[in-house]
Structure formats: C-alpha cells, structure tokens
Structure 1
Amino acid sequence: MKKVGNHNSISRNLFFSLAVLLTFSLSSFAQTGDPVKGKELFNAQCAACHKLDGKATGPALRGVAAKYDMAWIYKWVRNSSELIKSGDAQAVKVFEENNKLVMSAFPQLSEGDIDNIIAYTSEVKAEAPVATAGTAGPPGTKADSGISNNVILAALAVVMLMLVVMLFLVNSVLGKVAKANGIEVAKKEPTTPIWKAFARNQFLVLVTSIFLLLASGYFVYGFFMQVGVDQNYEPIQPIHFSHRIHAGSNGVDCKYCHSAARVSKNAGIPSMNVCMNCHKSISEVADTTATADHSKPFYDGEIDKLYAAVGWDKVGQKYTGKTQPVKWVRIHNLPDFVYFNHSQHVTVAGVECQTCHGPVQGYEIQKQFAPLTMGWCIDCHRKTDVKMEGNEYYTKIHEELSKKYGVDKLTAAQMGGLECGKCHY
C-alpha cells in the first residue's frame, strides 16, 4: 500500500506540473508584449472591425492567442488572403465562420507590434463595480441621502396636525374652566359687515374696479404672450439620445449629424444610417458612461432599439431588411409665418449651434433652450456683429453701410436684420 501511495503522489505532482506548464505556455504570449502599446495599436489598426468582447465586422479578439498558434497569427495578420489561398485549413475555417469577409492585410506590423496587440487582447476583462446602497457614486452622480423628502414632509404634517388638535383641546378646557368659575364672555355688539360698508363707499368701489380691470388685463396679456412659447420643453424620445455622451464626452460635431444645417433652411433629423456609421461597430457603452439615473444596461438597450429600427443583426453583422419607423417628438417648432434659414446663420453668419440651442454638450435629454420669440431674435440681431473674417458674402455691403453709420463693425440689425420682410413672408 505504501508503494501504491507513492505512485499516486508522483502522478498528482506530475499532473500539477503539466497543468502549470500548460497554463504558462498559454499565457507566455501576454508577457512578451506590452499591453499599453498594444492598446494604442489595437485602437489605431483593429478597432474599426474588431471589439474585445463582442462580434463586430470581425470576431471578438479577447483571448485570441489561446485559440491559435502565434506563428499562424503572424501570417494571418500580415496577409490573411494569401494564407487562405494556400489552403490552410484553419485560415479557411476562420474565413467561412465570419461570412467570408476579407480581412485587410497589415504587412507593416512587426512581430513585436503583433505581440503587443496580443498582450492587450489577453488581459482579463475588468468587472464593472457594483453600486451598493449608501455608497457614494462617481463624481456627478446623485448619492443616497438616507431619508427621503417625502418622509420629512409627512413628519412635519403630523406635527402640524398635532398642534391644531392641541389648540382645540386647550380652547375647550379654558371654556370649561371659565364656565365653572362663573366667568361670562362679553358679547360683541352688532356691527355693519365690511362688505356692506365697502359697497356703500362709491369711491372705493370705483378704484377697486379699475385696479381689477388693469390686473386682469395684465395677466390675460401675459397668458396670451406665452402661447406657442415652449422654452425648456423636454419631451421623452422613442430612442434615448444623450447629447452629453455624443457631443460632450466624444466631441462629435453638431453638423456631423445635422449636416443639412450647413446648406439648407432646416437642420433636419439625422437618418438612422448616420447613427449606424458609428454604431455598426459600437454596440455597447463604456462602464464610465453610466450615471445614477441611466445605467450601462439602459444605454445598451437603447442601442438595441436603434438596431431594431434599422434591421441590424449584431450577431450576424448584417441587415435583415426588417425596419421599424422611429417616431421622433419635435422639440423646436416656429410658427408657419416665420422664415428662418439655418444655412444663413450657420454657414454665412458663422453662428455657433449653442447660441440658439444652449449647451447641448451637457444635455442628457435635449430641450428647447431659447424662447424663440420675436423679441429674442430682434435682441440677438441688435447685439450680434457680422463676422467679416474670410466672409466675402458681405464685403461690399459692409463697406458701404460702415461709412453710412460711421462704425467699424456692423450688427445684423444695421444690415437689415430688423426689416419685417426678412423673417415674415
């Protein structure tokens, strides 16, 4: 039995040694490269078609070195088409598994560059931190205050109710004490009601009537002046689009999506194809994008809504042809009798989008920033100087009107920006 036990012990040690050796052989590629440099190369050369943890145009690349031999990977990266034509079974299999899409050749990448990329793709995926109750979130998120405002208001309401009940009880007790001691409360002498006294005074009636008429006119005028003014209107859209992420964090230019604003009267609603220019490869957001109000699964779900609208199969990386219309809710809506041309303001005048639409790069949900009233537009025309740097459109008229008004810079108002026919048909 002792001899058998020694044999089992030796077998276990041998198996353990082989496991360690195998693990070391699978992970040694990560130690030969620099994952930091590999990340830079991955973003520059690979990210257009590959993700680490999800299928894009090409397959996910995390842990790819554990699937294939490094010598084969060198050949595949430098010229996959040549490797496929050579009849390499593994190359043909990868080619067919990915819809027979030809991978671009990268002959400029050295073995050291490829080692760095492989080191980056071999890193273990970091788990997203789980938020727990009572812990502070990242900067800019809302922390749990512990006690809600509703509880505090309910407690105050109970205290006020108790005080009212106590006053009634005290009044009742004092009445009983007075009655027991034979104390009588003096009765008030009858007086003329105040409304009768007021009605008998004709001067007060006249002054009050005039005041009420003026006050009513003021409030009615104020009410009608707000008809059609939708400042701070912030509707919920069928697909949540965060300007904070797109225009703020990622620095996407407004006119990339709203390209019509440069050449057309209307800014236009970006088509879903514009969204897919980026989201064909971006199917999820970064963990750091989430806030206390909107989690990562929420944003990822909105991207899935986009895919459903355009009919994109993110697993098969192809369009299915089954599309769904997106019923966007309009935010800015000028009256029909008002003429406004985006191209003249954006291209000719060089007005920044934020002038009228506010700091959109910080908006989670887009809203109407300005009142867009006639007074607001006129005030802008009176204050805004016409930009002449590199703007030959206004050169001649600017020189003539500058001499007429005796100024160096003209405002939009001095160039006819207050004429009725400019904005009204």
Structure 2
Amino acid sequence: MKKVLYRHLFSKVLGLTFLLFSSSFYAQEEAEVATDAAAEQTADAVGGDPVKGKQLFNQNCAACHSLDRKMTGPALANVETRLMEDEGLDKEWIYEWIKNSPAVISSGDAYANKIYAEYNQAAMTPFPTLSNEDIDDILAYTAAPPSTPAATATATTAGGEATGSSSGISNEMILGALALVFGLLVVMLVLVNKTLRRIAEANGVVLEKEKEKRLPLWKAFVQNQFLVLVSVVFLLLASAYFAYGWMMQIGVDQGYAPVQPIHFSHKIHAGDNNIDCKYCHSSARVSKTSGIPSLNVCMNCHKSIYEYTGNPEGPSAEDLAAGHTNEFYTGEIKKLYKAVGWDEENQSYTGETQPVEWVRIHQLPDFAYFNHSQHVSVAGVECQTCHGPVEEMEVVEQFAPLTMGWCINCHRETNVKVQGNAYYEAIHEELSKKYGVEKLTAAMMGGLECGKCHY
C-alpha cells in the first residue's frame, strides 16, 4: 500500500496559515504606532490637539459637515490648507467665519459670498462661544491623517535622513493571504478524497456511482434552502416597500376634484369676471380658515344675474364636450334660488331654504395647525401658491399635496415680503443686526420648529 502524504500537507498548510496571521497582526501593530506618531506630528505642525478637536467637531460641526464628503456644508478634510493655498485666506479669516459667518457675508467678502450662494443662500450657524484654541483643535482634527492600517510608518530625522521604515500589510494583502489559505485547504481536501478512493480500490471496495437524475425545476428550487431563503427575504422587502409607499399616500389627496351639489365654475367667476378670491372667501384675511362662502354672498350678484349668456364667442369645444352650455349654467343658478328660497317672479325671499351639502376638498389633519390670516394678511402669500391656478379651473381640485415636507420646503425657500409690512420690518431689522441677514424666510423666524404647526 502506498504512503499517504496528506498529513504532511495538512501540517504545512497550518504552519503557513499561522505565519501569515502572525505577520498581519505584527504589521497592524506597527501601523497603529506609526499612525499615532503621525497624529502627534500633525498636532505639532498645526498647533492644536486633534483629540480635543474630534470631540468639538462631533459636538458642533458633524450635523452639517463630514471630513470626506459633502453634506449640508462642504467636506472639511484639510480645510485650513485648502483655504490658505487655493483661496489665499489666513487663519484669522477662519476664526471670523466660524464665529460669525453672516457678518463676513454682509461685509462683501468674495469667497464668503461664493460659499453662501453655492449652499442655497443659507449662512452657517455662528459659533461665538468657540475660542481660537477650540478652532485650532478642530482644524488639527480635520488635518490629521485617517487612522487606517495602511498608514505610512516612515519617520525622518531633522537632517532629512531616514531612521526606520515599516510598510505594513494592507487589508487587500491580508484578504489575499486568506484566499490563498482557503485555496490550499480546497486542494488538500481534493487530494485527501483521491487518496481515500485509491485506498478503498486497493482493498477491493467497490464505490457506487450516483445515478444522474434531473429533478423538476420547482422541486429543485424547494430543496435548495438558500434560494428559498433569498426569495422569501426579497418578497418580504418588496412587500414592505410597496406597503410603505401605499401608506405614505394615506391622507394625500392631490388631484381630488369632487362633484358639488351646485356646480360653481371658478373659471367663469375668478377667471372671466376677475372676481377676487377674498371677496367670496373673506374670512381668509382675518380667520384661521378660509370658510365656505354663504349663499347670501352669491345672491349679492345673482339677484340680478338670473341667466348665463356666456362669452360673446360662444362655448368652447371643451365646454360642449362636458355639457357646460349656457342652459346648464342657467340651471345651476336656479338651484341656487331654490336653496336660498328666492322667488324670482316676486323678487323676494320665501323663507323656505334648503341646505347645500358642499363637499370639502382641502383637508388638513387635526394635529396640524394652519392659519389663513397669518399667511394671507401678514405674510402676503397669494392664494394660487397653495391652491394653484383656480382662475383656470372649471372644477376645483386639490393642487398641492399639502404634506409636511411640502410646507417645510416653502418655509425654507420663500422670502417673506418685508416691504410695507411693519411687523416683519422690525424683525428683519433685529435679525440684520445680529446675523447680517439680507433676506427673511419663515425658517429664519423659527418656522421649522415643531410647535409652530403641531400643538
């Protein structure tokens, strides 16, 4: 019987594995020591403590900045070096910018206004409580090299001669070594299998070959537990995605255009006849709600307008297709008379009224607070901003989604009309003194606070 060599091969593989892991751990320790030394050299060069700077960065800067990628603000890795070399700015400029960026912007500084324009005209939050030493520590942290196993561990003397070097082993090399070990194990198992088969054949053991039999596709799928698991996870994630999308549309009625008991054409009233929205919805100027106009408001005009004669050019093809003829609109006026109890022949009220069950179109949740007078009278927001071009709507529909994100974006982007508004002029004056604000938005006045809309 032949000698079996797989035991010797197994011992060699174990020995090689131990050697590779020992080398990698030793290289990692050397890399960590080299990284600490590099961090100390960086701290001496920039005059700050990167350890304290990291803590200050996480407390004050991490919400808007990252070291290696753009967030709400720019990436801050090596920001001091970039500002000095690329923009010609000194550290005093950095101190002033961090402590009071609106003042630097209002002073007309070219680079400050460039950053202000690039990042949606939103000035950085001032940090007047940070001292120059705190800012030096933050700059030291942004200038410190990343703590990775591949960091260079080469040190030089004051005269420029090398005193020692250690390249270390990168993660890719470690993964390659592990892959090599895995490959050797596979080869070893194959050799062991062949050796055992030869031993069995030498001893007269007959090995039965498995008969090839193709299973049906569905049975092969069921027997493969991995494919079943992956399919189940995929179906669960897909179901959760579609369920989330469906639930997020609950209460969002954008495009909702119900049929009203009495047809009212905003296109004719607000469009053709140029009737101001606030003539009918007068409570929008002084109240939380815009209100449904009373039928008496309609009768202010329709006591005299008892039929619809239409445009001199005649009804459009679209109106004819929808059945909106002169006779149709005249019939709707008769419905109005019946609801208010108006006797057209005697030109008097009969006192026999009928309620009109109008269908509400715009509906906010009960937990959301919205005040029409605050937006219409104080802020000067036009009705079309939220309700769309109602002067073009034959049948009014919900134009905007009226979601929280939609409202927040409006508060962030819309400039408040300060001219001719003493209330906002006073606020703008105070904010200009404090932060140097040129334009005023609802967000600058606390319009993003939860308690403004949820109470």
1:202–1:406 distance in 2 versus 1, CA, 3 Å: farther
CA–CA separation in structure 2 for the residues paired with 1:360 and 1:367? 8
CA–CA separation in structure 2 for the residues paired with 1:299 and 1:279? 12
The residue identity in structure 2 corresponding to 1:280 is K
Pair 1:362 & 2:385 matched? no
Which of 215, 229, 243 is the equivalent residue of 2:238?
215
CA–CA separation in structure 1 for the residues paired with 2:454 and 2:414? 20
Aligned to 1:196: 219
CA–CA separation in structure 1 for the residues paired with 2:403 and 2:447? 15
Q: Secondary structure at the match of 2:446?
A: helix
Contact 2:368–2:453 (8 Å) recurs in 1? yes
Pair 1:271 & 2:301 matched? no
The residue identity in structure 2 corresponding to 1:387 is K
Deviates more, 1:254-263 or 1:285-294: 285-294
Contact 2:419–2:425 (8 Å) recurs in 1? no
The alpha carbon displacement at 1:351 in A equals 0.4
Which of 213, 216, 228 is the equivalent residue of 2:251?
228
CA–CA separation in structure 1 for the residues paired with 2:435 and 2:226? 55
Pair 1:409 & 2:439 matched? yes
CA–CA separation in structure 2 for the residues paired with 1:402 and 1:199? 70
CA–CA separation in structure 1 for the residues paired with 2:303 and 2:213? 86
CA–CA separation in structure 2 for the residues paired with 1:287 and 1:397? 49
Aligned to 2:366: 336
1:398–1:237 distance in 2 versus 1, CA, 3 Å: same
The alpha carbon displacement at 1:202 in A equals 2.7
CA–CA separation in structure 1 for the residues paired with 2:267 and 2:416? 30
CA–CA separation in structure 1 for the residues paired with 2:396 and 2:214? 62
Question: After superposition, what is the alpha-carbon deviation per residue over 1:235-264, rounded to whole angstroms, capped at 9, x for unaligned?
Answer: 111100000000000000000000000000
Question: After superposition, what is the alpha-carbon deviation per residue over 1:325-345, rounded to whole angstroms, capped at 9, x for unaligned?
Answer: 111111111111111000000
The residue identity in structure 1 corresponding to 2:271 is G
Question: After superposition, what is the alpha-carbon deviation per residue over 1:69-128, rounded to whole angstroms, capped at 9, x for unaligned?
Answer: xxxxxxxxxxxxxxxxxxxxxxxxxxxxxxxxxxxxxxxxxxxxxxxxxxxxxxxxxxxx
CA–CA separation in structure 2 for the residues paired with 1:308 and 1:221? 47
Question: After superposition, what is the alpha-carbon deviation per residue over 1:12-63, rounded to whole angstroms, capped at 9, x for unaligned?
Answer: xxxxxxxxxxxxxxxxxxxxxxxxxxxxxxxxxxxxxxxxxxxxxxxxxxxx
CA–CA separation in structure 2 for the residues paired with 1:362 and 1:191? 68
Pair 1:324 & 2:365 matched? no
Q: Secondary structure at the match of 1:381?
A: helix
CA–CA separation in structure 2 for the residues paired with 1:214 and 1:367? 35
Unaligned runs of 5+ in 1: 1-188
The alpha carbon displacement at 1:223 in A equals 1.3
CA–CA separation in structure 1 for the residues paired with 2:411 and 2:421? 18
CA–CA separation in structure 2 for the residues paired with 1:307 and 1:225? 43
TM, length-normalised to structure 2: 0.50
1:302–1:190 distance in 2 versus 1, CA, 3 Å: farther
Q: 1:65-144 counterparts in 2 under 5 A? A: none
Question: After superposition, what is the alpha-carbon deviation per residue over 1:126-155, rounded to whole angstroms, capped at 9, x for unaligned?
Answer: xxxxxxxxxxxxxxxxxxxxxxxxxxxxxx
CA–CA separation in structure 2 for the residues paired with 1:362 and 1:327? 24
1:190–1:308 distance in 2 versus 1, CA, 3 Å: farther
1:370–1:203 distance in 2 versus 1, CA, 3 Å: same
Percent of pairs with identical residues: 72
Q: Secondary structure at the match of 2:451?
A: helix
Contact 1:401–1:415 (8 Å) recurs in 2? no
1:321–1:420 distance in 2 versus 1, CA, 3 Å: same
Aligned to 2:334: 304
CA–CA separation in structure 2 for the residues paired with 1:283 and 1:195? 74
The alpha carbon displacement at 1:417 in A equals 0.7
Contact 1:381–1:411 (8 Å) recurs in 2? yes
Contact 1:232–1:369 (8 Å) recurs in 2? yes
Aligned to 2:229: 206
TM, length-normalised to structure 1: 0.54
The alpha carbon displacement at 1:405 in A equals 4.2
Aligned-residue CA RMSD in angstroms?
A: 1.7
The alpha carbon displacement at 1:313 in A equals 1.3
Q: Secondary structure at the match of 2:362?
A: coil
Aligned to 1:283: 306
Q: Secondary structure at the match of 1:275?
A: helix
Aligned to 1:398: 428
Question: After superposition, what is the alpha-carbon deviation per residue over 1:394-423, rounded to whole angstroms, capped at 9, x for unaligned?
Answer: 222222323444430021111111000000
Unaligned runs of 5+ in 2: 1-211
CA–CA separation in structure 2 for the residues paired with 1:193 and 1:255? 73
The residue identity in structure 1 corresponding to 2:298 is C
CA–CA separation in structure 2 for the residues paired with 1:320 and 1:313? 6
CA–CA separation in structure 1 for the residues paired with 2:452 and 2:306? 46
Contact 1:230–1:371 (8 Å) recurs in 2? yes
CA–CA separation in structure 1 for the residues paired with 2:308 and 2:295? 18
Aligned to 1:86: none
CA–CA separation in structure 1 for the residues paired with 2:287 and 2:438? 30
Contact 1:402–1:409 (8 Å) recurs in 2? no
Aligned to 2:402: 372
Question: After superposition, what is the alpha-carbon deviation per residue over 1:159-207, rounded to whole angstroms, capped at 9, x for unaligned?
Answer: xxxxxxxxxxxxxxxxxxxxxxxxxxxxxx9952222222222332232
Contact 1:309–1:324 (8 Å) recurs in 2? yes
Contact 1:261–1:342 (8 Å) recurs in 2? yes
CA–CA separation in structure 2 for the residues paired with 1:404 and 1:216? 51
CA–CA separation in structure 2 for the residues paired with 1:328 and 1:192? 66
CA–CA separation in structure 2 for the residues paired with 1:221 and 1:391? 44
Contact 2:307–2:329 (8 Å) recurs in 1? yes
Contact 1:402–1:410 (8 Å) recurs in 2? no
CA–CA separation in structure 1 for the residues paired with 2:357 and 2:453? 29
Aligned to 1:240: 263
Q: Alignment length, in residue pairs?
A: 237
CA–CA separation in structure 1 for the residues paired with 2:224 and 2:250? 40
